[in-house]
């Protein structure tokens, strides 16, 4: 496998999100209280940016519907492409998130004949291979970033109410196919997560109905553009069903498609087996 392919495979895990982990010595509870608050409170500024996100949340089902959800599960199919848009790998993962009373996550999948799991109990994240814990700071940080990052992306626009989120309305913008959107710039306060100050997001919402259309991310070492292809209404919440992620430049010119994410079997408030999020079984 050449270096370019390896970079493409790990890129989604490098696009770390607010509350991501960089140093295992300092991350035992970084931002956890903020995560827990978001399931019971809505934190939006009284300005144009806050108004746009409020309308996006209303379009997606409303805050009351979201705040009542206790857990979320779905199957995530990840299809990777190289710079020539040749398919190089496909992985199917089962994602299970406890949203209340505090955030916990478990991701499981099979790859190359091995069974993998990532478990995140809100305090730490571990990666397992065939039932055995994989050790190492880099592995633990990757487990945290991929689990929290998947939860973050799946729960937009609701996650844009997290404490520490700084929203700026940048007016109307025009995307591909002359799609006119409201542009919201998103950064995070220092202390809202170890990625604060490192990453800048732009979220784009339809200028008529406030549906989430796309996002653009400056992650410090490059850029990506994600286009939201379809949504599905589940338990009164419109949640993303498929999105496509493109490598791009600072001008938002699409260079090539890197990854397609397809979410299936999306369910809220199912019964999870006891001990699902235990770290030692």
What are residue 81's DSSP bridge partners?
A: 87
Q: Higher model confidence: residue 196 or residue 280?
A: 280
Largest CA distance in the chain: 52
* DSSP summary character for residue 269: S
Q: How confident is the model at residue 190 (pLDDT cuts 50, 70, 90)?
A: confident
Q: How confident is the model at residue 29 (pLDDT cuts 50, 70, 90)?
A: very low
* DSSP summary character for residue 176: G
Q: Higher model confidence: residue 38 or residue 85?
A: 85
Instruction: Give the count of beta carbons closer than 10 Å to the beta carbon of residue 75.
Output: 15
Please provide the average confidence, as pLDDT, over all residues in the chain. Answer: 86
> Over 70: is that where the pLDDT of 14 sits?
no
**Cα separation, 229 vs 161, whole angstroms:** 23
Q: Which contiguous run of DSSP H or E holds residue 256?
A: strand 254-268
Q: Which residue, among 157, 151, 81, has the nearest Cα to 118 in the 3D structure?
A: 151
Give the tens place of pLDDT for each residue, 215-254.
999 988 899 999 999 999 999 999 999 999 999 999 999 9
How many percent of the chain have pLDDT more than 70?
A: 83
Angle value at C-alpha 233, between 254 and 201, nearest 5 degrees: 35
pTM: 0.85
Q: Which residue, among 1, 12, 6, has the nearest Cα to 259 in the 3D structure?
A: 12
Contact 265, 259 (CB under 8 A): no
Q: Higher model confidence: residue 36 or residue 181?
A: 181
pLDDT value of position 35:
38
Task: Give the SS3 label for residue 79.
Answer: strand
**Cα separation, 107 vs 200, whole angstroms:** 26
pLDDT value of position 194:
53
**Cα separation, 13 vs 48, whole angstroms:** 32
pLDDT value of position 123:
87
What are residue 96's DSSP bridge partners?
A: 73, 106
Q: Higher model confidence: residue 105 or residue 19?
A: 105
Kindly state the tokens that stand for 171. Answer: 């007016």
pLDDT value of position 69:
97
Give the tens place of pLDDT for each residue, 118-140.
999 988 999 999 999 999 999 99
> Over 50: is that where the pLDDT of 10 sits?
no
């Amino acid at each position: 496998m050449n270096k370019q392919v390896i970079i493409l495979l790990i890129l989604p895990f490098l696009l770390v999100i607010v509350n991501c982990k960089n140093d295992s010595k300092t991350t035992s509870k970084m931002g956890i209280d903020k995560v827990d608050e978001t399931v019971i409170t809505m934190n939006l500024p009284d300005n144009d940016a806050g108004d746009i996100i409020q309308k996006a949340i209303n379009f997606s089902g409303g805050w009351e519907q979201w705040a009542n959800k206790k857990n979320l599960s779905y199957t995530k199919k990840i299809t990777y492409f190289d710079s020539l848009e040749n398919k190089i790998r496909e992985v199917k993962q089962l994602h299970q998130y406890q949203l209340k009373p505090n955030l916990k996550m478990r991701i499981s999948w099979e790859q190359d004949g091995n069974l993998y799991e990532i478990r995140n109990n809100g305090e730490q994240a571990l990666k397992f291979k065939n039932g055995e814990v994989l050790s190492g700071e880099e592995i633990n940080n990757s487990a945290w970033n991929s689990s929290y990052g998947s939860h973050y992306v799946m729960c937009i626009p609701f996650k844009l109410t997290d404490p520490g989120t700084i929203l700026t309305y940048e007016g109307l913008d025009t995307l591909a196919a002359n799609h006119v959107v409201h542009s919201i710039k998103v950064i995070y306060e220092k202390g809202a997560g170890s990625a604060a100050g490192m990453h800048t997001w732009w979220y784009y919402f339809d200028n008529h109905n406030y549906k989430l259309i796309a996002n653009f991310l400056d992650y410090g070492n490059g850029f990506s553009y994600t286009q939201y292809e379809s949504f599905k209404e589940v338990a009164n919440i419109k949640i993303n069903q498929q999105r496509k992620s493109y490598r791009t430049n600072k001008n938002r010119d699409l260079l090539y498609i890197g990854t397609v994410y397809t979410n299936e079997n999306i369910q809220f408030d199912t019964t999870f087996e006891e001990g699902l999020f235990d770290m030692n079984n």
